[in-house]
Amino acid sequence: MKLQRMNRRALSLGALAVSGALALTACGSDDTGTKSGSSSSATAAAGSIKCDDAKGQLLADGSSAQKNAIDAWVKNFTQACSGVQVNYKGSGSGAGVTAFTQGQVAFAGSDSALKPEDVAASKSVCTGGQGIDLPMVAGPIAIAYNVSGVDNLVLDASTIAKIFDGKITNWNDAAIAKLNPGAKLPDLKIQPYHRSDESGTTDNFTKYLIATAKTDWPYSGGKAWQAKGGQAAAGSSGVAQGVKQTNGAIGYMELSYAKDGLGTVAVNTGAAAPVKASSDGATKAVAAAQVVGTGSDLSLKLDYNTKADGAYPLTLVTYEIACDKGNKAATLPATKAFLRYIASEDGQGVLSGIDYAPIPDAIIAKVRTTIEGLS
């Protein structure tokens, strides 16, 4: 009996440690909009972090969309590996890729996979190798709106494209009314907001429109906004603020910004029910992605036309970019240790609680194997 009580106590303590590791939330606030002041159980997660010979300063830069996830991971990692200082600047995907190909950082974050010219440039800093894409963070791009009296709103790809291209200009338009039977849609001008700065969020938002509503979205896409009209604001924070302040406004942003009185659109994808932005929905969407990279590269092609129940198609994937071979000897141990942790079950486990989505098991398993082979 005494042994049974001891075993039950050990199981309880283990369960507490696991639940604590999953309770981590981000510190600070930046382009993801995650709020500060939350606590973590870094001690619980620390036992699973392998520091190996990691030491010194690890410089990184890139995607601001993943900055709060990186901050949460760094807090856990550096408490376990006190000999390492991780400095991730979050200057944006373009800046991160440039810094990586110029040899200024050990790894970079990007909301878009490396282009062929980026891979070619990386070979000068990855001796005998090249830069590769490791999918590490997923996140839903919410379409948030502010329309008095409208608590639930359903749109499909065609209406979204027409709204943001200025072809549907009023909230009681017949196309919107058809998707929202019974809703009291006001006779109110639509005020669409988009990013004024070059953005991975814009790139991924327009990739969705190109894939699902090409007739209604006649643009080539990219990080710079191409459609005419609408209101422009810097950063997702600026877009969110503009939508909050304007009755009749609508805009796209990371899910963590779509709070404080903003509604979020449920997207009619053709599934059994319209799908709202959520971490689980983003993970389901990424699960249907195809790995299109070659060799050690794990860049993904998302299925924006998915009709899977619960899968949210407007999803962004952020990659960590590192050398497959030819990493600098001084930073390789720290790079591998940090990437190993953030790809681990514990590392991925913190994401859902801070408005991100973990990478599906089948894909993250390939990422873990690739990280172990970095040299």
Any alpha helices (H) in 227-356, and if so which ranges? 235-245, 279-287, 332-343, 345-349
Instruction: State the pLDDT at residue 15.
Output: 38
Please say whether the beta carbons of 133 and 348 come within 8 A: no
Tokens of 96: 């991160």
Buried b (16+ CB within 10 A) or exposed e, 312-324: bbbbbbbbbbbbb
Split the chain (375 residues) into runs of 10 and give each run's mean pLDDT: 42 37 32 38 58 91 89 95 94 90 96 94 97 96 96 97 98 98 96 90 94 97 93 90 97 90 96 96 92 95 94 95 97 97 96 90 96 97
Instruction: State the pLDDT at residue 47.
Output: 58
| 131-146 and 191-195 beta bridge pairing | unpaired
Instruction: State the pLDDT at residue 64.
Output: 82
Output the pTM of the full model: 0.77
H or E segment to which residue 132 belongs = strand 131-146
> How far is Cα 152 from Cα 56, in angstroms, rounded to an integer?
51
Q: What is residue 184's three-state secondary structure? A: coil
> How far is Cα 291 from Cα 308, in angstroms, rounded to an integer?
19
Instruction: State the pLDDT at residue 247.
Output: 97
